[in-house]
Amino acid sequence: MEYIERTPANEISSFVKCFWEYKNNNSDIQHTIFPNGHFELFMIFHQQDLVNVFLSGLRSKPFDVEVPKDVVVSAIRFKLLAAEYVFDIEINSLLDTIMPLDLSYWNLKELEYLSFEDRILKISYHIYEIISNKEVDPDKLLLLGTVYKPDMTVKEVADIVQWDRRKINRYFNAQFGLSLKTFLNIVRLRSAFESVKEGLLYPERDYYDQSHYIKEFKKYTGKSPKQLSKNEDDRFLQFSLKKEP
C-alpha cells in the first residue's frame, strides 16, 4: 500500500484536516477503520478514471472497507465546521453511513489524470471560493475548534465557549448526530492511538484507570489496546500507517 497525506493551506485549515491518498497496488485488501472525529469526501479512481464519489459522515463505531487491487482512494478529511459552511448540510443523517454523490459534483470529473498535488490545488481553490462568500459565526468557530483538543470535558468546552452545556448538546445532536460527550470521547481515544502503536498499552491521558481505558477502546473499536497493537495482517489501517487515513 502507498499512503500520502498533505495538510491544507491556512485559508481553509479551519474546515479541512487534511487531504490524503491511498493506493492499493497488490491484491484486494480488507481494512477496519475506527472513528476519528471527522467526516470525509471520497473519490475512487480506477486506472485514473473517477468511478465513485461519496460523502462519509462521522463514525461512532468501527467499519470495514474492501479496497480492490489497482484502485486509488483520494479523500478530503473535513472538520466539523465544514458541515455548515462548506456543504450547508446537517450531517446527523450521515452518522455511520455514506451519501453517494454524482461524479460531476464539484466538477470532480475534471480531476481525472491529474496528480495528487494538482487535485489538492483545484479542490482547495473550490473550497476557498465557497467559504469566502460566507460569514462564519465566531462562536461556532471557537466551539468547533476547541472540541478537537484531546482530554477536554463537556464543562471545559462550555466554559471556554460560554455556551450552556444543554445548548451545545442540542446543537451537536441536531447537526452531527451524536452528543458532545461522545465526540470528545472519540477525540480522546484517537489521540491515544499513537501511544498504542508504540506499544504503550496503559492510559497516559484522562482515563480513570486501566479498566476504563480498555472499556473505551472496546466501545469504539471493538478491540483491546493489546489486540490493536498487534495489528495482524495490517487489518487496522490506522495502526499500519504513520499517519491515519
Predicted pLDDT at 78 = 98
Band of residue 236 on the pLDDT scale cut at 50, 70, 90: low
At CA 100, angle to CA 68 and CA 113, rounded to 5?
55
Positive or negative torsion for Cα 81, 87, 91, 94: negative
Predicted pLDDT at 124 = 98
Strand partners, 31: 65
Band of residue 232 on the pLDDT scale cut at 50, 70, 90: low
Predicted pLDDT at 39 = 97
Which residue is listed with cell 499512503? 3
Q: Average the pLDDT over each of 1-15, 19-33, 82-96, 103-117 and give the range with the smallest value.
A: 19-33
Predicted pLDDT at 79 = 97
Q: Average the pLDDT over each of 170-174, 216-220, 225-229 and give the range with the smallest value.
A: 225-229
d(CA 106, CA 108): 5
- Is pTM beyond 0.85? Reply is yes
Average pLDDT of span 142-149: 96
Predicted pLDDT at 238 = 67
The sheet carrying 49-56 orders its strands as 2-6, 16-24, 71-78, 39-46, 49-56, 98-101
Residue 243 pLDDT exceeds 60: no
Residue 235 pLDDT exceeds 80: no
Residue 113 pLDDT exceeds 90: yes
Residue 195: CB atoms within 10 A of its CB come to 16
> Over the chain, what is the mean pLDDT?
89
